[in-house]
Structure 1
Amino acid sequence: MKICFPTSSGGHLTHLLQLRDWWENEERFWVTFEKADSKSILEDEKKYWCYFPTNRNIKNLIKNTFLALKILRKEKPNIIVSTGAAVAIPFFFIGKLFGIKLVYIEVYDRIEKPTITGKLVYHISDLFIIQWEEQRKFYPKGKLLGGIF
């Protein structure tokens, strides 16, 4: 299995790192921001740097869409897993077109309202994971995993 992890740096990246026991023996690559934390944490990992800022930035959304097309064609992952944020959106939509399985994990700290990324990818995800029962009001078909921290 080959896994693509498109994620923002910081907390979103940290969420995915918590799943190390699941992915550490799998072929994988990361798509994230070229920032100090991600450069350090992913030093020995295969990675691609995406364009940022991403929030409400149409120019970078377009650039990241072309980047997603290029990377997904080249790498041919079996599955895309993300906790967001906006960099996940083009990877999920292009991935869906390519028939790649999509798993989204809504972040731990969004209990009172859904994330924008979660709302956008909910209906195209093959598996949508929530960490709190309270998140079910936004994502009724979400699978409750519980906290990954």
Structure 2
Amino acid sequence: MKVCMVGSSGGHLTHLMMLKPFLEGKERFWVTFDKEDARSQLSEEKVYNCFFPTNRSIKALIKNTILAIKIIRKERPDLIVSSGAAVAVPFFYVGKVYGAKLVYIEVFDRINKSTITGKMVYPITDLFIVEWEEMKRVYRKAINLGSIF
């Protein structure tokens, strides 16, 4: 199984790093911002750098969609996992076209309100995970696995 881990640097990347035990023994690659924290945390990993800032940026969305097409076509991941933020959107939609399974984890600090990214990818995810029971009122098909921290 090949896994694509995609997310912004900072808290989203830290969130995804908590899944490292799940990734043991799996072929994987990461898509994130070229920032110091990402370079440090992923120094031993295969990484593709995406464009930022992404928040409400049509230009970054277009550039990251083109990047997603190139990377997904080359790597052909079986599974794409993200906890956001906006860079997840093009990778999820392109990944869906290429047959990847999609798992989205809504961020820990959202207890009763959706994120923009969560709303955008929710309709196409194969598994949508929340970390608070209250979030199941926001995302009806979500499952609550509790905190990954």
- TM-score, L = length of structure 2: 0.98
Question: Does structure 1 retain, via aligned residues, the 8 Å contact 2:111–2:135?
Answer: yes
Letter in 2 for 1:102: L
Structure 2 unpaired stretches of 5+: none
Alignment partner, residue 76 of structure 2: 76
Alignment partner, residue 65 of structure 2: 65
Where 1:122 maps in the other structure, the secondary structure is helix
Structure 1 position 24, deviation (Å): 2.2
- C-alpha separation between the residues in 2 aligned to 1:20 and 1:98? 25
Structure 1 position 68, deviation (Å): 0.1
- C-alpha separation between the residues in 2 aligned to 1:24 and 1:47? 16
Letter in 2 for 1:48: Y
- C-alpha separation between the residues in 1 aligned to 2:138 and 2:4? 26
Structure 1 position 99, deviation (Å): 1.1
Structure 1 position 38, deviation (Å): 0.2
- C-alpha separation between the residues in 1 aligned to 2:40 and 2:82? 19
- C-alpha separation between the residues in 2 aligned to 1:73 and 1:132? 35
Alignment partner, residue 27 of structure 1: 27
Alignment partner, residue 117 of structure 1: 117
Letter in 2 for 1:60: A
Alignment partner, residue 107 of structure 1: 107
For residues 73-129 of structure 1, what are the alpha-carbon distances to aligned partners after superposition, in whole Å with 9 as ceiling and x for unaligned? 000100000000000000000111111100000010011311100000011000000
* Large movers: runs of 4+ above 2 Å: none
Letter in 2 for 1:133: E
- C-alpha separation between the residues in 1 aligned to 2:51 and 2:2? 23
- C-alpha separation between the residues in 1 aligned to 2:86 and 2:125? 15
Where 1:83 maps in the other structure, the secondary structure is strand
- C-alpha separation between the residues in 1 aligned to 2:24 and 2:118? 25
Question: Does structure 1 retain, via aligned residues, the 8 Å contact 2:112–2:138?
Answer: no
Alignment partner, residue 15 of structure 2: 15
Alignment partner, residue 94 of structure 1: 94
Structure 1 unpaired stretches of 5+: none
Which stretch of structure 1 is more off in the superposition, 65-74 or 136-145?
136-145
- C-alpha separation between the residues in 2 aligned to 1:145 and 1:59? 35
- C-alpha separation between the residues in 2 aligned to 1:126 and 1:112? 21
